[in-house]
Amino acid sequence: MTSPMKLFRRSDLSTHCEECKLSYDLTQMGACRQCRRVLCNRHLHGSFWRRLKVDFGAPAVCVRCRHEGARS
């Protein structure tokens, strides 16, 4: 029997991460505010703590942009 509640159902839509080229559900992805690439959570946030910061209002800046910004 299936549950009538569809709140926690996975999306039927997916796309590819522009960094690793793997296919992900759209709920597991996001876009970098600086370079505008669509990335999986691993390449966008880099860690659970960074994702938590973004959930609480920090800008969604990908790992590559943050690394390049730290060098300059």
Strands (E), 1-72: 14-16, 23-25, 29-31, 38-40
Multiple choice CATH, 15-71, 3.30.200, 3.40.630, 3.30.40, 3.40.50: 3.30.40
Q: Tens digits of per-residue pLDDT, 8-38?
A: 666 678 889 999 999 998 888 999 999 999 9
Helix (H), strand (E) at residue 51? helix 48-55
Q: How many helices (H) and strands (E) does the chain have?
A: 3, 4
Distance of CA 13 to the CA centre of its chain: 15
Check pLDDT > 60 for residue 66. yes
pLDDT given at position 70:
76
What mean pLDDT comes out for the span 47-71?
93
Domain ranges of the chain: 15-71
33 neighbors 60 (Cβ within 8 angstroms) = yes
Q: What is the pLDDT of residue 53?
A: 96
Task: Give the pLDDT score at 8.
Answer: 64
What is the pTM (predicted TM-score) of this model? 0.77
